């Protein structure tokens, strides 16, 4: 479970089994019923995944929320055999382990050294991108234009957009390309990937309402508010 791995990010992100079971049972009660077992299970998986996401997201610092979303998304796709460990490692590490001095000389002046290491490693590590270097050489103008775009994550990938769109992991492959060429746009590309894979509701900001938090609490599940200087939830608490 991704929830179990969250303490590796911050030791405060602890979730007990009792808390998880409470979310599970509440989802069982609130989810639409269906007499067809297969459909009922699909509904429960969908609703439980989102309900756990909402509850966990409430307790995370803003800086860690994208990491949690990305972990959840990649874990689901890995369990569905769409992604594998090699693909996820490429996202995390890129070409950082490569020695620039051992690589072929960077052939393009418009591409920085880090991007060249990432691209070279990508072409060597995934069969899908085996022809990436030759595509860059043969279509340099198109790739240079895309590389210099203000928001390349919103643009079609030169020469291979159609091939990417037809691949089961196409949205992740596009994220790998953005991370390799323009790592400054990785965050926005990651949000696009999550929205495409899980749905827009996992990307849109969640509105925190005290009434919802109160409904998910109970006599054995206290609510702890961590306040920043100047924050005063007093009015919201009185409205309950």
- Answer whether residue 64 shows pLDDT above 80: yes
Q: How confident is the model at residue 69 (pLDDT cuts 50, 70, 90)?
A: very high
**pLDDT exceeding 90 applies to what percent of the chain?**
69
What average pLDDT score do residues 174-202 get? 95
In this predicted structure, the answer to whether residue 228 has a pLDDT above a threshold of 80 is no
- Asked whether residue 221 carries a pLDDT value surpassing 90, the answer given is no
Q: Is the pLDDT of residue 65 over 90?
A: yes
Confidence class for position 63, pLDDT limits 50, 70, 90: very high
pLDDT of 140 over the 90 cut:
yes
Q: Give the pLDDT band of residue 234 (cuts 50, 70, 90).
A: confident
User: 18 pLDDT exceeds 90?
Assistant: no
Residue 66 predicted with pLDDT over 90: yes
CA 66 to chain centroid: 6
Per-residue H/E/C for the chain: CHHHHHHHCCCCCCCCHHHHHHHHHHHHHHCCCCCCHHHHHHHHHHHHHHHHHHHHHHCCCHHHHHHHHHHHHHHHHHHCCCCCHHHHHHHHHCCCCCCHHHCCCCCCCCCCHHHHHHHHHHHHHCHHHCCHHHHHHHCHHHHHHHHCCCCHHHCCCCCCHHHHHCCCCHHHHHHHHHHHHCHHHHHHHHHHHHHHHHCHHHCCCCCCCHHHHHHHCECCECCCCCCCCCCCCHHHHHHC
Which pLDDT score is estimated for 205? 86
pLDDT above 80 for 1: no
| Average predicted confidence (pLDDT) for the chain | 90
The answer on pLDDT for 58 being more than 90 is no
Q: For a pLDDT cut of 70, what percent of the chain falls above it?
A: 100
């Amino acid at each position: 479970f991704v929830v179990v791995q969250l303490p590796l990010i911050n030791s405060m992100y602890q979730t007990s089994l009792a808390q998880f079971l409470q979310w599970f049972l509440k989802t069982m009660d609130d989810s639409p019923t269906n007499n067809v077992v297969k459909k009922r299970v699909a509904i429960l998986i969908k609703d439980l995944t989102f309900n756990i996401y909402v509850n966990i997201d409430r307790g995370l610092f803003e800086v860690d929320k994208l990491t949690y979303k990305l972990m959840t998304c990649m874990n689901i796709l890995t369990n569905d055999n769409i992604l594998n460990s090699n693909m996820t490692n490429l996202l995390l590490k890129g070409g950082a382990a490569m020695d620039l001095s051992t690589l072929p000389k960077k052939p393009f002046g418009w591409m920085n050294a880090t991007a060249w290491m990432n691209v070279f490693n990508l072409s060597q590590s995934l069969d899908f991108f085996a022809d990436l270097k030759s595509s860059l050489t043969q279509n340099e103008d198109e790739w240079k234009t895309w590389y210099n775009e203000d928001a390349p994550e919103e643009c079609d990938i030169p020469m291979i957009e159609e091939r990417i769109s037809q691949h089961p992991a196409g949205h992740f492959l596009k994220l790998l390309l953005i991370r390799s060429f323009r790592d400054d746009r990785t965050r926005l590309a990651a949000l696009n990937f999550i929205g495409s894979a899980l749905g827009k509701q996992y990307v849109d900001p969640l509105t925190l309402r005290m009434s919802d938090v109160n409904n998910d609490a109970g006599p054995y599940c206290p609510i702890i508010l961590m306040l920043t200087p100047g924050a005063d939830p007093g009015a919201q608490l009185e409205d309950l």
